[in-house]
Amino acid sequence: MIQRTVLTGQEPARVVIHDEDNDWLVGDGVNDPNDGASVVACMKHLADTDPTVAELASLPLGHIAERDEPLHPWTISVHQWPDE
Protein backbone atom coordinates (compact mmCIF):
# COMPACT_ATOMS: atom_id res chain seq x y z
CA MET A 1 0.00 0.00 0.00
CA ILE A 2 1.32 3.40 -0.96
CA GLN A 3 -0.15 6.65 0.24
CA ARG A 4 -1.60 8.63 -2.68
CA THR A 5 0.39 11.75 -1.81
CA VAL A 6 3.62 9.76 -2.21
CA LEU A 7 2.52 7.98 -5.38
CA THR A 8 1.55 11.25 -7.07
CA GLY A 9 4.73 13.02 -5.95
CA GLN A 10 2.93 15.58 -3.77
CA GLU A 11 4.94 14.40 -0.76
CA PRO A 12 8.10 12.30 -0.44
CA ALA A 13 8.15 8.89 1.19
CA ARG A 14 9.13 9.42 4.81
CA VAL A 15 7.88 6.13 6.31
CA VAL A 16 8.30 2.62 4.90
CA ILE A 17 7.05 -0.39 6.86
CA HIS A 18 7.76 -4.03 5.98
CA ASP A 19 5.32 -5.72 8.33
CA GLU A 20 5.26 -9.22 9.79
CA ASP A 21 2.81 -10.34 7.07
CA ASN A 22 5.37 -9.37 4.38
CA ASP A 23 3.28 -6.36 3.33
CA TRP A 24 4.91 -3.07 2.37
CA LEU A 25 3.35 0.20 3.50
CA VAL A 26 4.67 3.56 2.32
CA GLY A 27 3.53 6.88 3.72
CA ASP A 28 4.43 10.54 3.69
CA GLY A 29 4.61 10.77 7.49
CA VAL A 30 2.46 13.92 7.44
CA ASN A 31 -1.07 13.10 6.27
CA ASP A 32 -3.50 10.50 7.62
CA PRO A 33 -2.91 7.27 5.62
CA ASN A 34 -6.26 5.70 6.47
CA ASP A 35 -9.32 4.87 4.36
CA GLY A 36 -9.07 6.14 0.81
CA ALA A 37 -5.68 7.78 1.27
CA SER A 38 -3.65 4.74 0.20
CA VAL A 39 -3.74 2.47 -2.83
CA VAL A 40 -2.22 -0.81 -3.91
CA ALA A 41 0.65 0.01 -6.24
CA CYS A 42 3.88 -1.51 -7.48
CA MET A 43 6.91 -0.69 -5.33
CA LYS A 44 9.04 -0.71 -8.49
CA HIS A 45 7.07 2.25 -9.84
CA LEU A 46 7.74 4.16 -6.64
CA ALA A 47 11.42 3.16 -6.66
CA ASP A 48 11.72 4.40 -10.25
CA THR A 49 10.55 7.86 -9.16
CA ASP A 50 12.37 7.83 -5.79
CA PRO A 51 15.55 5.69 -5.95
CA THR A 52 16.11 6.09 -2.20
CA VAL A 53 13.12 3.79 -1.64
CA ALA A 54 14.96 1.06 -3.57
CA GLU A 55 17.64 1.20 -0.86
CA LEU A 56 15.07 -0.38 1.44
CA ALA A 57 14.53 -3.54 -0.63
CA SER A 58 16.31 -5.58 2.05
CA LEU A 59 14.35 -4.06 4.96
CA PRO A 60 13.66 -7.05 7.22
CA LEU A 61 10.17 -8.19 8.12
CA GLY A 62 8.78 -6.32 11.11
CA HIS A 63 10.89 -3.20 10.56
CA ILE A 64 10.23 0.43 9.77
CA ALA A 65 12.40 2.97 7.96
CA GLU A 66 11.80 6.64 8.69
CA ARG A 67 13.32 9.94 7.64
CA ASP A 68 12.47 13.60 8.11
CA GLU A 69 13.04 14.77 4.55
CA PRO A 70 13.92 13.23 1.15
CA LEU A 71 17.69 13.77 1.33
CA HIS A 72 18.01 12.67 4.96
CA PRO A 73 19.21 9.14 5.72
CA TRP A 74 16.73 6.43 6.63
CA THR A 75 16.57 5.37 10.29
CA ILE A 76 15.63 1.71 10.65
CA SER A 77 14.07 0.18 13.73
CA VAL A 78 11.79 -2.66 14.79
CA HIS A 79 8.17 -1.85 13.98
CA GLN A 80 5.27 -2.51 16.29
CA TRP A 81 1.67 -1.45 15.71
CA PRO A 82 0.39 0.89 18.47
CA ASP A 83 -2.21 -1.63 19.70
CA GLU A 84 0.33 -4.43 20.17
pLDDT score of 84: 60
Could you give the CA distance from residue 53 to residue 43 in angstroms, rounded to a whole number?
Answer: 9
6-54 tens-digit pLDDT:
999 999 999 999 999 999 999 999 987 777 888 888 888 888 888 899 9
Q: What is the pLDDT of residue 31?
A: 85
65-84 pLDDT, tens digit per residue, is 999 998 899 999 999 988 76
Cα–Cα distance, 57 to 30 (Å, whole number): 23
One-letter identity of residue 57: A
Whether the model clears a pTM of 0.95, i.e. scores above it, the answer is no
Q: Which residues of 31-47 are buried (b: 16+ CB within 10 A; e: fewer)?
A: eebeeeebeebeeeebb
